[in-house]
Amino acid sequence: MKPLAFVLLAVASGASAQSMDPTFIDQKHAAQVTGEQIFQHICQGCHMPDAKGAVGAGHYPALANNPKLAARAYPVAMVMGGRGGMPPFGMLLTDAQVADVVNYVRTHFGNHYSDALTADDVKPFRPPTPTPSRGH
């Protein structure tokens, strides 16, 4: 299963039926998913459709007009590793998908950070893959 399809299935199990489009999680189209679609189907459930955040059962910070997004590494680190109540999505999204959703948030909702990230920029945020040790 493609990483994004997996995360969308996991999110769909806890999301309301009205917010999930079943065709969105079709595996054969997972590579064509945009940053906007990733935001809409994963991020906006907590950060809200207008990215202004929310307070309720938890505190979901605003992404709209957020000066912390000026540093490209900050949103990548948050998406990849999570923090506090935010789950990590690094193992569920490809490097390109992380770059796409971060670029989307950094250029929408009153944010105007146009120095776009690429998959190669995201790659260093992944922990190294452990190599199997050879027993003697």
Q: Are strands 54-55 and 59-60 parallel, antiparallel or unpaired?
A: antiparallel
- Is 4 within a domain? no
- Is 45 within a domain? yes
- Is 76 within a domain? yes
Total number of domains constituting the chain: 1
Average pLDDT of adjacent 10-residue blocks, the chain of 136 residues: 45 39 51 91 95 90 96 96 91 94 98 96 88 70
* Separation between Cα atoms, residue 59 and residue 86, nearest integer Å: 10
Instruction: Give the pTM.
Output: 0.76
The confidence score (pLDDT) of residue 6 equals: 44
- Is 97 within a domain? yes
Of residues 94, 114, 105, 125, the one with CA closest to residue 37: 105
The confidence score (pLDDT) of residue 135 equals: 65
Query: Tell me, what CATH number does 114's domain have?
Result: 1.10.760.10
The confidence score (pLDDT) of residue 127 equals: 79
What range does the domain containing 81 cover?
A: 35-49+59-127
- Is 122 within a domain? yes
End-to-end CA distance of the chain: 35
- Is 5 within a domain? no
- Count Cα atoms within 13 angstroms, Cβ side, for 104: 20
C-alpha torsion sign, points 97, 91, 10, 30: positive
* Separation between Cα atoms, residue 60 and residue 1, nearest integer Å: 29
**Residues 126, 92, 73, CA angle at the centre, nearest 5°?**
40
- Is 89 within a domain? yes
- Is 2 within a domain? no
